[in-house]
Amino acid sequence: MKKLYASILTALVGISLFSAVASAAISSNEAIDIVKQSYPNANIYEVEYDHEDGVRVYEIKFTTDTIREGEIDVDVENGKIVKQDIDYYANK
């Protein structure tokens, strides 16, 4: 019986997450395009749907020739960048 409840709960959580992403105003590909407008040479290595301070965001992680690690949160509803964390390589 516990396995049945766990399976049902897992299915409901999955449906809720899918519904949240499906109702997004922008897609993850559009969020990537927004990042690439600011960083055209970005090598995207991770895109994650997340909540940041109550705001639904796509968290996009990337690198470039000059950026060791970049992370940009794009608001799912309006496509605005709400957070940037850029770690540049040290000057040599």
Query: Sorting pLDDT into bands at 50, 70 and 90, what band is 7?
Result: very low
Q: Note if the pTM is more than 0.75.
A: no
pLDDT for 68 beyond 60: yes
pLDDT for 20 beyond 60: no
DSSP letter string, 22-91: HT-SS-HHHHHHHHHHH-TT-EEEEEEEEEETTEEEEEEEEE-SSEEEEEEEEETTT--EEEEEEEEPPP
pLDDT for 28 beyond 90: yes
pLDDT for 19 beyond 80: no
Query: What is the pLDDT averaged over residues 17-30?
Result: 72
